[in-house]
Amino acid sequence: MADACVPAPPEKAAPSVAELSDDEIFAQIVAGKLKEHALEATLGDCARATRLRRRWLEKEVGTMPEGLPHEGFDYESVLGACAEMVVGYVPLPVGVAGPLTVNGKAYQVPMATVEGCLIASARRGMKAITSSGGAQAAVLKQGMTRAPVIFFPSAMRAAALKSWIEEPENFATMKGWFESTSRFAKLKSCAVTVAGLHAYPRFVCFTGDAMGMNMVSKGVNNVLEQLEQHAGFDDMRVLGLSGNMCCDKKPAAINWVEGRGCSVVVEATITGKVVRETLKTTVEAMIELNTAKNLVGSAMAGAVGGFNAHAANIVAAVFIATGQDAAQVVESANCITLLAAANGGEDLHISCTMPSIEVGTVGGGTILKPQRACLELLGVAGAAKDEPGAHARALAMVVAGAVLAGELSLLAALSAGHLMKAHMALNRKPAAAPAPAPAVNVE
């Protein structure tokens, strides 16, 4: 009698992509079966995805420089938040300048830079400020902006939108639409500019301790939908959520005049003794230079917001260290530096007015451990518990205070003729000693 049929063993399931070896996965990338931009989602391992993407890049360009590191980085924190197509990271030196006393509190300010002399110069300015009693700073206003561009069939319809928004009752309705999208966002104002068939409503919004671009964009998008559906503007056409009157990451007079982010003014009075002994110059020389350089020179250059010596230098270094959007240095470095004699001409009064410092202590790059550590160093990491927006305001005032110090030190160096000497000492490596001459056999 024939044996009974024995059922075949179940087929072994094919291994998942993540179970394959690196070589097998790389072969699939090369064959186009796996997308190099989606490796994190496919493998569930961000560090492995970065390693394999480096192999892919090496094949694409013919080399993968060893100098670009990739090990020892928390790639999970980057995923979906800070960067895509990651192949490594760029280490930057971070120094501290201080103590800087602002509103009675002393700070050691973290600065990430590759420019020698910058931190040393800022530290000298901070020493002058702190030894003269410190700086005082105030936030004049706080609000992030977004300005979409809307197209209408006629200029009169664009004007009608402006009139509608300017009615207090309508603005209150619009404010409700905006604030329904977030627990923290508050719509403060909206001014509409009309250019023919185009309308540009510039929304100004409070965003707590976040820099707030995403928060504002979400609220504005909802307002636009409601205007079209429920306010009688069904003939409007939104051409773009940003119409460049915001104005984000571009030099613009509107940020200089109206402000964006935190508008800050900071001042200090430097004693004549400190000017002479620490800054190595005179009150008169610094005032004369500031007028000729920062006011007249900048005016002759047609500057917008550039009435300063090097505010962007300080802003960029603090921004990179604390996880801010580095591209927003463009408008955040708007600054006018003013110097005047004080106390009968014996002392020096200096102020910096900065109308558009765009900072946050939550979200964006502030979630990365090193950047958060720098915020912790300043005591402003995360959201302020008792007063929303307080950490962002404090950070903005520290940035402005650091700029004040940088302006003070550079103007002093220029007026005393010390700038090039300092840069040659701290911004240049000494030349390598010449190699010894080969021995000559004279036998």
Backbone angles phi, psi at 109, to 5 degrees: -95, 120
Side chain identity, residue 55: R
Q: Is 391 a catalytic residue?
A: no
DSSP at 385:
S
The DSSP string of 81-126 is: TT-SS--------EEEEEEEEETTEEEEEEEE-S-TTHHHHHHHHH
Do residues 132 and 383 make contact, with C-beta atoms less than 8 angstroms apart? no
CA dist list (Å): 394 to 248, 384, 387, 407: 22, 10, 12, 20
Backbone angles phi, psi at 150, to 5 degrees: -120, 135
Q: Is 249 a catalytic residue?
A: yes
The span from the CA of 421 to the CA of 331, in Å, is 31
Do residues 382 and 431 make contact, with C-beta atoms less than 8 angstroms apart? no
The span from the CA of 383 to the CA of 110, in Å, is 19
Helix (H) / strand (E) containing 229: helix 213-230
Q: Is 3 a catalytic residue?
A: no
Active-site option among 115, 188, 218, 418: 115
Active-site option among 249, 293, 310, 391: 249
Active-site option among 141, 188, 325, 418: 325
Do residues 37 and 85 make contact, with C-beta atoms less than 8 angstroms apart? yes
Residues in a beta bridge with 203: 146, 190
Question: Is cis: bond before 247, omega within 30 of 0?
Answer: yes
Q: Is 234 a catalytic residue?
A: no
Catalytic residues: 115, 249, 325, 423
